[in-house]
Structure 1
Amino acid sequence: MKKIIVIATVATLAAAGGVTFTALTAAQDPQETSQNAAEAKAITIWRDPGCGCCDAYADYLEANGFSVTRVDDRDFDKRSVEMGVPERGIGCHLAEIDGYVVSGLVPVEIIERLVSERPDITGITLPGMPANAPGMAPAKTGTLKTYAFGDGGVSVYSDE
């Protein structure tokens, strides 16, 4: 009788362990995790087709784990204003990530903070084409002032 109880107990524990292992394996599927990460870092860039710094910037984003869709658009500046970028704040290209507008050569760490913090703004911009920004230089050097914009107006988002 004791032998039957021991066998039944072992069988029950083995079955429960298998269920637990299956549940953990399904929850931690590496393919699903990588798909979610790729979706979270998907970014679309509208750029002038002749702009080399936009390609260098897109390469920089890809090197930092973003999945970049490049769209040739000679009128990206008009699209920028339509999407809420202040006319005086237009950057060298326009991007969209996770519902936010990003204008210009904004460093990766600032974009990641934007989508992580989720502030109540339309987006951020690094106006112009600063020589020390990613895409213009091999890596960001010095400080860059990035602005937030939206219904509340324009304010400094980052000065680093």
Structure 2
Amino acid sequence: MAEITFKNNPVTLLGTEVKVEEKAPDFKVLANDLSEVTLADTKGKVRLISVVPSIDTGVCDQQTRRFNEEASSLGNVEVLTVSVDLPFAQKRWCAAAGIENVQTLSDHRELSFGQAFGVAIEELRLLARSVFVIDSNDVVTYAEYVSEATNHPDYEAAIEAAKAAN
């Protein structure tokens, strides 16, 4: 498992770490309208999945805005942001931030995504900052588990991976 810290304190990740070239695990999260979303709902597209601890905090805000800006240049790539924030909070934040190219998804109910991708932080019931690219055949082509949850991911590497998978 990836070793992750949150504000320099080690945390325990629940679930199984995903690796490049593995089939992406399925998950069940909630869209902003409370409908369920699974991996199969985006089948046939490349997915860039940006995972943040809480969307309305500094680094998470910047990460979501950055991928929102990049989304239009990625072609047939669906950009998803997953956090444990309530769907209502995500919807309100997106409206206030002018986010239109990223779909926010909530893992608050079951931590299904967090456990499937090995990013659920046991001590905090948050998700560890990470980025995944899944190709149109549901194969993981990029996985970054950010070692310190308050740091930024490698945006350029994730964007290049999404373009290469397209």
TM-score when normalising by structure 2 = 0.28
- Which structure is higher in helix share? 1
TM-score when normalising by structure 1 = 0.29
Q: Of the two, which has the highest radius of gyration? A: 1
